[in-house]
Structure 1
Amino acid sequence: MTGGRSAPERLLAVLAAFDHAHPALSLTAISRRAGLSLTTAHRLAAALTAWGALERDTDGVYHVGLRLWETAALAPRGLALRQVALPYLEDLYEATHENVQLAVRDGDEVVYIEWISGRSAVGVRIQVGARWPLHATGVGLALLAHETAALQDTYCAGPLAAFTSHTITDPALLRRTLADVRRIGVAVSARQVTDDALSVAAPVHGPAGTVAAAVSVVVPYSGARVPALIPAVRLAARGISRGLGWRPEGPAGTGGGTGT
């Protein structure tokens, strides 16, 4: 049942059994989702619980443990980035009173590492730690547009999942969209994940000028005032970039080719 996997691979398979749809698992569920025998799953879950990566409640159900969260918080694209970004995300929220998001790229997906929810804003299918394909979100388009041509070619050649009738699934259209993002400096994603939402996203630059993250605001599609949102999102992205150590090119710091 283990398929010849190494001990570390089996251990990681137990952790990978947990996700947003399955935050709490019985031992039987861990065994099934990890593809391990019940005996092996029990042994590995016990070891992870002893270390603190998992916690077991009084009903025998397992949850992700605090020690794993403490370790994950050390990731430079996690807590450290969130701490730098949070004041600018809060400013963006105060300026719009809409959903505000911060995300990074992980392979072919975006991972949301911060989210401020507007009390009366449009509903979104996002939470911290959630993953979505790059092409289907504003932050994903902002990130993919600034990747290498080779990575973009590989992504466009792959399957492009659809979530609504408006999701970009045509490779040629995706290429044109990415070119537009690079040209205007922001990504506008309309009705790609849900039919009632629109997002405006801008890239966040790290010290070397490369894109480290993306910030976005998500508003109701109906009545969205995109031209008014673009400067606010750009300002937030620029503030986070400066907080990370990025400095714009150009005379006297007036900005240049890497501006947001």
Structure 2
Amino acid sequence: MLPAQPNRSLMDGIACLQALVSSERPLGTRELARLLGLEPTRVNRLLRTLAAMHFAEQVEGRKYRPGTGIHVLAAQSLHGSGLIDRALRHLRGLHVFGHAVALGVLWRDQVSYLYHVGTQDPEAHMVQGTSWPAASSGIGIALLAHETEEHVREVYAPGDASLFQLSSPRPPLDGPDGLIATLERTREQGYALIGTEPGLSTLAVTIGQQPYAAVGISGALTDDEVPTLLTALTAAAKEIDGGQP
């Protein structure tokens, strides 16, 4: 929930930065303004400020892409949190089951994967930094289940187009198959188990008493192996959290 007097300049600047780092190509001022629902002149001032701070850089066609500053900030944040360093050895141990293993964090309607390996080889095909709609992710559902219903409704029904609602389709919230009911079932059982594609599903649990990340296993999971996988995930989550200083 926003404070009584939110800093609009800060919010809009972060929205511009989020749009740049989420895009697979450079964005122009007017395109970004349409995407965020902001005035082009305001977006132009924000982009020029971000460029001056090296969080963005202007390229051919007067478009912008992420600058070196954002890469430094990302590296510093990962190093400072220590999450990846603590998690790696425990995540690698989960590959013994022969399914994909992932670690992710939640930001509004998106899950960002800090670790995602789809083979039994923990060194192969690691994907970091990719985002996915939280409502379509087992890790996302596990983390959203710890939010209040009020917060979930605010995220998926924002009154302001610039509040970082950039790419996720809005899922149905109400009804027996809606997101609110799915989150309630997840709270009751203490873990997320959702179908992601035909024949595939994801099992995920959160990390931390006040969850800050989640770990999951994805694949053609059978009902018989879910209890074993849940035990392994729960143990790994506790070990990862226990490594905090």
TM-score > 0.5 by shorter chain: yes
Judged with a 3 Å threshold, the aligned counterparts in structure 2 of structure 1 residues 27 and 174 are, in CA distance, closer, same or farther, namely closer
The Cα of 1:215 is off from its aligned counterpart by 0.6
Q: Which amino acid aligns with 1:28?
A: R
The Cα of 1:105 is off from its aligned counterpart by 3.5
Contact 1:113 1:128 in 2 (8 A): yes
Pairing 1:1-260 to 2, within 5 Å after superposition: 7-18=9-20, 20-21=22-23, 23-75=25-77, 80-93=82-95, 95-107=96-108, 109=109, 111-119=111-119, 128-133=129-134, 136-145=136-145, 147=146, 151-152=148-149, 155=152, 161=171, 168-169=177-178, 171-172=180-181, 174-181=183-190, 186-189=191-194, 191=195, 193-205=196-208, 209-221=209-221, 225-245=225-245
Question: Partners of 1:37 and 1:171 in 2: how far apart?
Answer: 34
Question: Partners of 1:128 and 1:218 in 2: how far apart?
Answer: 18
Contact 2:106 2:134 in 1 (8 A): no
**Residue 254 of structure 1: aligned partner:** none
Q: Deviation per CA, 1:2-44: give whole Å up to 9, x if none.
A: xxx9544553343243353554212332343344554544443
The Cα of 1:54 is off from its aligned counterpart by 0.7
The Cα of 1:100 is off from its aligned counterpart by 1.5
Contact 2:111 2:134 in 1 (8 A): no
Contact 2:21 2:65 in 1 (8 A): no
Q: Give 5+ residue unaligned stretches, structure 2.
A: 1-6, 122-126, 158-169
**Number of equivalences:** 219
Q: Which amino acid aligns with 2:139?
A: V
Judged with a 3 Å threshold, the aligned counterparts in structure 2 of structure 1 residues 78 and 230 are, in CA distance, closer, same or farther, namely farther
Judged with a 3 Å threshold, the aligned counterparts in structure 2 of structure 1 residues 110 and 82 are, in CA distance, closer, same or farther, namely farther
Deviates more, 1:74-83 or 1:226-235: 74-83
The Cα of 1:67 is off from its aligned counterpart by 0.7
Q: Which amino acid aligns with 1:68?
A: I
Question: Partners of 2:184 and 2:18 in 1: how far apart?
Answer: 33
Structure index of larger Rg? 1
Question: Partners of 1:83 and 1:176 in 2: how far apart?
Answer: 32
Question: Partners of 1:78 and 1:231 in 2: how far apart?
Answer: 29
Judged with a 3 Å threshold, the aligned counterparts in structure 2 of structure 1 residues 232 and 54 are, in CA distance, closer, same or farther, namely same
Q: Give 5+ residue unaligned stretches, structure 1.
A: 246-260
Question: Partners of 2:67 and 2:82 in 1: how far apart?
Answer: 20
Give me the TM-score of the superposition, normalised by structure 1. Answer: 0.65
Contact 2:206 2:212 in 1 (8 A): yes
Query: Could you say which structure has the greater relative contact order, defined with CA pairs below 8 angstroms and 6 or more residues apart?
Result: 2
Question: Partners of 1:227 and 1:87 in 2: how far apart?
Answer: 22
Contact 1:100 1:116 in 2 (8 A): yes
The Cα of 1:219 is off from its aligned counterpart by 1.0
* Secondary structure, aligned partner of 1:236: helix
Give the CA RMSD over aligned residues. Answer: 3.9
Contact 1:54 1:63 in 2 (8 A): yes
Judged with a 3 Å threshold, the aligned counterparts in structure 2 of structure 1 residues 170 and 116 are, in CA distance, closer, same or farther, namely closer
Q: Which amino acid aligns with 2:105?
A: V
